[in-house]
Structure 1
Amino acid sequence: MTYQTDLKLFIDGAWAAGEGRDCHDVINPATAETIAQLPLATKDDLDRALDAAQRAYPDWRGLDVEKRASILHKAASYLKANAKEIGALLTQEQGKPIKEAIGEVYGAAQMFDWYAEEAKRNYGRTLVRPTGQRSIVLHQPVGVVATFTPWNFPIYLLAKKVAAALAAGCTVISKPPEETPGSTGAVAKALDEAGIPKGVFQLVHGVPDMVSRHLIGSDIVRKVSFTGSVPVGKHLMGLAADNLQRLTLELGGHAPVLIFDDVDLEKTLDAVVPQKFRNAGQVCVSPTRFYVQEGIHDAFVKGFAERTKQVQVGNGMEDGTQMGPLANGRRPEAIEALVDDAKSHGAELMAGGTRGDNGFFFQPTLLANVPLEAKIMNDEPFGPVAITRPFKDLDEALHQANRLPYGLAAFAFTENLRRANILGDEIEAGMVGINGFAISGADSPFGGIKDSGFGSEGGKEGLETYQVVKAIHMQ
């Protein structure tokens, strides 16, 4: 499939092309070739987006919930009907295998469908009062929302924010990543085709610092939702302070995986290795720090290395590819530096460890017995690298799992139910997976603690982040 070249902004119900705007090169990470030019929003474009969102808000907020839900369902139907074509765009601009890309499109559609129905369950409550008096609690939309999303799951993460905000009755200005404009533009196309009123949703690309300062600097925006790095999240939090804008921040992690010696080792390895290299490890909840009980550590490393060497790396559009390239040219260099640093501290390279010849490839990599002093033990690699260390007992495992400032996701594998209960209670993370990796769904909250941010997306909690609470007392 040939990549589309007519990339546009979507503001106040209209599509805007180049028209003299500065442009950004869109790169295919499998070939390192430029495949399109993306027009970047000007300050005038952002002002038009702000004005449109503000004008559209009262009518969208007041629209019958059934009509609002119908538009979200229609957007979901568009995404599902065009999943193969949209998935191909995503693979060409982000790199992930086409099967994963198509699955992401369906995941985005699920978000729109689920929040279309959750909008109808936006219940308040009535408080007990004396006869003739009433006290009620309402959930109302917060207002105009600005969302900022990354390139690793550009369609799904955009849909997760936008579907919830629209369902809550907010109007939205979204800035997706410049690396993946074709696939995220398809979300705007889905809403446009679904008949969303003018000004309810805008999609803008641009220089990140300029766009974030301009949107967050406006008192029109009442809520900011960001997924990305810890430093940028802290920066946006500072910008939001001036206007006291509400925040949801999902800032990544460095997920520990605790493997105890009572597991079925082969079954566990078959589960963890594909999960580690999904999306080339560019997943904020990717299992990365493997702490393995000392009696099975060496056998675990051996089995992990064997499976890692069998992962088929290549262009995501080609049949049989299990892992594609990294998303941009900065990532292979960053991963190589972390691997070299770990080796210099005494880590054992068991598989991979090298860059590819073309595109932005890096081989699936396993480092064993990694010292705590190595940078990769403390900084999120966000790439196809797994690292292991042995542990002696439960207390040591919990200490290692909790020692970093991150707290997004964590995983543990054990057949001991009491131990599983303790792990669920004591691991410091917003999400914990026991004997599996299914920790994210439309109906469940997704979010972290500590330096991994605050607030949740998904589930009823995701809807509530775009709402304010009002108590009304009648006597």
Structure 2
Amino acid sequence: MYRKLAFYIDGEFLGGDAGSGGEVVNPATGQVIGRLPHVGAAELDRAIAAAERAFPGWRRTSPLARSDLLRRVAALVRERAPRVARDITLDEGKPLAEALVEVESCAEHLEWHAEECRRIYGRVIPPRQSGVRQLVVREPIGVCAAFSPWNFPFAQAIRKVAAALAAGCTLILKGPEESPSAVVAIAELFHDAGFPPGVLNIVWGDPAAISRHLITAPAVRKISFTGSVPVGKQLAALAGAHMKRMTMELGGHSPVLVFADADIDRAAAMLARFKLRNAGQVCVSPTRFYVQRAAYPRFLDAFAQAMAETRLGDGLEENTQMGPLANPRRVAAMAALVEDAVGRGGRIVTGGGRRDGQGFFFAPTVLTDLADDARIMQEEPFGPVAPVVPFDTEDEVLRRANALPFGLASYVFTESLKTATRVADGLEAGMVNINHFGMGPAEIPFGGIKDSGMGTEGGAETFDGYLVTKFITQV
């Protein structure tokens, strides 16, 4: 049985009849598995009022008490992870093993925030004259609105919820309508752990209408959004017009730099697995593969073989290594990128089309012989299509890697410490991974630069967007 869907306002689960909602579809089969109730303006106003009413009491709650509640949620996450993961596979499509890792890793994120919120410190500034006391304190900003995406529906939402609530803020979260079960599960977890009514509220519906209503509401003081660059820019403009603080984790087009001295077979195998995680629907997925010319033929053969051997199927099937894309739009987008590449003289090494039968499947695809102006080299694919092209010099590949307006993640494979240091310094990205993938832990600041966003989530910086700095001077 798929989870019963609802929205959650002021400590109540509402809208179970789904009279004004939308269909939720299993992307592996194309079948409708549930209906999601949508909110209107009245419900949004109720959520804002509930969060505003709950804020004074929640901000005064001891950090130790907030920490204990978050730890209760973490324990419940570990207990309920198999059920939550199964529902994610049903509505988002990723293999069950991937969904389970996503859910279980969030227990650590909750515990990290539970610990860090005990250490939100201010400072004393020595005065210039005797008898003066000068303090700097950090206080929760107030009611926050967050918008989380469909590709990691549990993990992306938990990052926002844990940071806001641990900081002493209250939150209204709009989750993804296409894969809603994980966010409903989050509401249940925080409800059962004993969080006060109004501290966390969950809404669903028309994204444009909800975002405008929440961002323009005077009570909402901070916005957190994870999603595409175009939508992020629209929301940032709206938030800026109303002087709202914001954290934006937007799209990327992550370059991979494979130098000739790298362990080529290891790099090819690792990158194929990481590229196809969640069918490539990952903002930090490796998406532009630059391979030094001397190693290019060997890497291309090994990488294409690993991609071609990947087993596609329903995420609930035991041997599945890659599930479907989330919706038919992603399938059409992959086909359009491949068509453009071939039309510009590119060559399909493996894959290249959708899989026959039910569901939204697209074969793992490797393209080569591409110019830098091909769409696949310019636009984030957000799917299982990988362009692989050669390069000659370090300066050349850095110029090509940095040529786009994106700056989220990047990857380097080399056995040279000098090369690794120079390239890490030269890449314009918020995160650089050298010879491995290391961006997931809770203690890591996760975020990008340029068009890929502003602000970070996780790490010691995790509360920066949810706290204001107040200076107090007293004689």
Calculate the TM-score normalised by the size of structure 1: 0.98
State the one-letter code of the partner of 1:29.
P
Tell me if the contact between 2:18 and 2:36 (Cα under 8 Å) persists in the aligned partners: no
In the alignment, the residues of structure 2 paired with residue 69 and residue 118 of structure 1 have an alpha-carbon distance, to the nearest angstrom, of: 9
Tell me if the contact between 1:325 and 1:359 (Cα under 8 Å) persists in the aligned partners: yes
Deviation at 1:299, TM superposition (A): 1.1
Tell me if the contact between 1:345 and 1:373 (Cα under 8 Å) persists in the aligned partners: no
Q: Match for residue 348 of structure 2?
A: 349
1:448 is paired with a residue whose SS is: coil
Superposed, 1:124-139 pairs within 5 Å as 124-129=122-127, 130-139=129-138
In the alignment, the residues of structure 2 paired with residue 375 and residue 168 of structure 1 have an alpha-carbon distance, to the nearest angstrom, of: 42
Render the CA deviation track for 1:257-289: whole Å, top value 9, x for unaligned.
000000111111121110010000000000010
In the alignment, the residues of structure 2 paired with residue 340 and residue 177 of structure 1 have an alpha-carbon distance, to the nearest angstrom, of: 29
Gaps of 5+ in 2: none
Render the CA deviation track for 1:183-206: whole Å, top value 9, x for unaligned.
211011100000000100001111
Once the two structures are overlaid, the 10-residue window that deviates more, 328-337 or 365-374, is 365-374
Deviation at 1:128, TM superposition (A): 2.4
Q: Match for residue 201 of structure 1?
A: 200
Q: Match for residue 330 of structure 1?
A: 329
State the one-letter code of the partner of 1:83.
A
Once the two structures are overlaid, the 10-residue window that deviates more, 90-99 or 72-81, is 72-81
1:160 is paired with a residue whose SS is: helix
Deviation at 1:94, TM superposition (A): 0.3
Deviation at 1:314, TM superposition (A): 0.4
Q: Match for residue 81 of structure 1?
A: 79
State the one-letter code of the partner of 1:299.
R
Tell me if the contact between 1:21 and 1:42 (Cα under 8 Å) persists in the aligned partners: no
Once the two structures are overlaid, the 10-residue window that deviates more, 124-133 or 378-387, is 124-133
State the one-letter code of the partner of 1:289.
R
Q: Match for residue 152 of structure 1?
A: 151
Equivalent pairs counted in the alignment come to 473
Q: Match for residue 161 of structure 2?
A: 162
Deviation at 1:444, TM superposition (A): 1.3
Identify the match of residue 69 of structure 2 among 60, 68, 71.
71
In the alignment, the residues of structure 1 paired with residue 464 and residue 135 of structure 2 have an alpha-carbon distance, to the nearest angstrom, of: 17
Question: Is the counterpart of residue 116 in structure 1 residue 114 in structure 2?
Answer: yes
In the alignment, the residues of structure 1 paired with residue 278 and residue 130 of structure 2 have an alpha-carbon distance, to the nearest angstrom, of: 60
Tell me if the contact between 1:154 and 1:183 (Cα under 8 Å) persists in the aligned partners: yes
Q: Match for residue 32 of structure 1?
A: 30
Render the CA deviation track for 1:112-161: whole Å, top value 9, x for unaligned.
11101100011112222354432221111110000001100010000001
In the alignment, the residues of structure 2 paired with residue 213 and residue 433 of structure 1 have an alpha-carbon distance, to the nearest angstrom, of: 36
State the identity as a percent: 48
Q: Match for residue 376 of structure 2?
A: 376
Q: Match for residue 469 of structure 1?
A: 469
Q: Match for residue 97 of structure 1?
A: 95
In the alignment, the residues of structure 2 paired with residue 20 and residue 189 of structure 1 have an alpha-carbon distance, to the nearest angstrom, of: 18
2:284 is paired with a residue whose SS is: coil
1:159 is paired with a residue whose SS is: helix
Question: Is the counterpart of residue 406 in structure 1 residue 406 in structure 2?
Answer: yes
Deviation at 1:41, TM superposition (A): 0.7
Deviation at 1:209, TM superposition (A): 0.7
In the alignment, the residues of structure 1 paired with residue 355 and residue 32 of structure 2 have an alpha-carbon distance, to the nearest angstrom, of: 19
2:286 is paired with a residue whose SS is: coil
Render the CA deviation track for 1:173-222: whole Å, top value 9, x for unaligned.
00010011112110111000000001000011111011111111101100
Question: Is the counterpart of residue 363 in structure 1 residue 368 in structure 2?
Answer: no
Q: Match for residue 214 of structure 1?
A: 213
Deviation at 1:19, TM superposition (A): 4.7
Render the CA deviation track for 1:349-374: whole Å, top value 9, x for unaligned.
11111102210000111111221121
Q: Match for residue 59 of structure 2?
A: 61
What stretches of structure 1 move > 3 A for 4+ residues in a row? 18-21
1:284 is paired with a residue whose SS is: coil
